[in-house]
Amino acid sequence: MNVTQGKIHINAALILAGAMLLGAFNPPAFAQNPKLDIKNLEPLAKKASEVVDVNLDGTLLKLASKFMTDEDDKEGLEIIKNLKGIYVKNFEFDKPGEYSQADVEAIHEQLQRPLWSRIVSAQSKKEGETTEVYLMTPSDGGTILGMAIIDAEPRELTIVNIVGPIDIEKLSSLEGKMGIPRLGKLEPAKKPEGQHETQK
């Protein structure tokens, strides 16, 4: 091997390493899917006394939009006409403390930075309720791709996954509807975070 060939090999190795690093920092297109895999919550389902799954995908959302004809529905209609789906998983437990943060890890693991960022984290000490809101934005920082809400109460856990572009300003019009919990006046998280730190 002469010196020129050696240089070429080193350059090729550097390019390859660079490409691998870029690949690691820029998630592939398939990873930009805002639909969470909520099927892997079966261990949690075994602990729950009752599990409710709501599936409002594109076609059902279209049906829903047909009867949103009131003046009050305008903003909600604006949101849902662009959505691909709203998926809700609700767990009800017999007693408080029958599930832990570790049980919700399967969801938190999917809400990783840089695509997902936590915009709201609120805790009600009185009612023991914790609400977290996550947003998924594409790597180029364009329109919001989806949203996840984790609402944890002592005897109830609700996970909401909204797939599609959402105008956060108008989200309040859907609160309390379609399985989306009432978020009320939640304080934004001090610093957007992708990974949830264990609390509770």
Closer by beta carbon to other proteins, 26 or else 55: 55
According to the binding rule CB under 8 A, does residue 63 interact with other proteins? yes
Residue from 34, 146, 164, 179 that binds other proteins (CB under 8 A)? 179
According to the binding rule CB under 8 A, does residue 67 interact with other proteins? yes
According to the binding rule CB under 8 A, does residue 183 interact with other proteins? no
**Structure-token match 């960022």, residue found:** 117
Residue from 27, 33, 54, 193 that binds other proteins (CB under 8 A)? 54
Write the interaction track for other proteins spanning residues 113-142; mark x where CB under 8 A is met and - where it is not: ------------------------------
Exposed, middle or buried, 70 (CB in 10 Å: 0-12/13-18/19+)? Answer: exposed
According to the binding rule CB under 8 A, does residue 193 interact with other proteins? no
Kindly state the number of chain residues that form the binding site for other proteins, as judged by CB under 8 A. Answer: 26
